[in-house]
Amino acid sequence: MLYERCVAMAEDQSQCVPPPGDPVETAADDAVPPITIDDLVGFTPGVGELVVQPENWGVLGIPTNFVATATDHVQHGTLLGQPIEVRWRPVSFTFDYGDGSVVATTDAGAMWQSSGDDWTTTSTSHEYSERGEYTATVTITFEADIATGTGWATVPGTLELAAPAEGVQVFEVQTVLTRGDCIDYPNDPGCSP
């Protein structure tokens, strides 16, 4: 019975009051175990996506920006035959940049909002040291809460899920001074094919 599970898991058991005339008397050996993250197998949090700025490419030695878009969200469903609300909260993010660098953080990252932000360092950006193609991933660790009728109770345990992987193309850029553009001066340095 959902009420019995609530009593078994709630930090403040006064939140789980039995219906009038329906006292719950459970012997110690018949105690109902608390709801855990494993009980929420029918609920799957939305992992969002991994955003790579600018548009899935980067330049050697310059920050490439990575952002996980997973956010808090509520799902409605049924558990033990009773309607229930589950709130998923992303609490940490493990960014694997595909070149052997892995960063674990509680920060999902921040999008570059304007061209003035491009190429600036963020808490989750990464500078590649070799050009090439990489596969970047982010694994999100979620905690869950269930609605108790008077608030939210945290469910013991965590769940780790990965957002879809993203390809990153890293280029090397060389700066060359010319007297004009390559249309007017096609034989100048940096213009020939």
CATH of the domain at 156: 2.60.40.10
Look at 25 and 105; give whichever has higher pLDDT: 105
> Has residue 102 been placed in a domain?
yes
Q: Which residue has the tokens 């956010």?
A: 71
Residue 41's CB is within 10 A of a number of other CB atoms, namely: 9
Domain count, the chain: 1
Residue 135's CB is within 10 A of a number of other CB atoms, namely: 12
Report the alpha-carbon distance of residue 85 to residue 176 in Å, rounded.
60
Phi-psi bin for 109: left (phi > 0), alpha (psi -120 to 50), beta? left
Look at 122 and 175; give whichever has higher pLDDT: 122
> Has residue 52 been placed in a domain?
yes
Average pLDDT, the chain: 84
The pLDDT value given to residue 12: 46
In terms of pTM, does the model score above 0.85?
A: no
Residue 31 pLDDT level (bands cut at 50, 70, 90): low
CB neighbours of 161 closer than 8 A, spacing ≥ 6?
44, 45, 47, 139, 140, 142
> Has residue 116 been placed in a domain?
yes
| % of the chain with per-residue pLDDT over 70 | 79
Q: Which domain holds residue 66?
A: 38-171
Does the pLDDT of residue 179 top 50, yes or no? yes
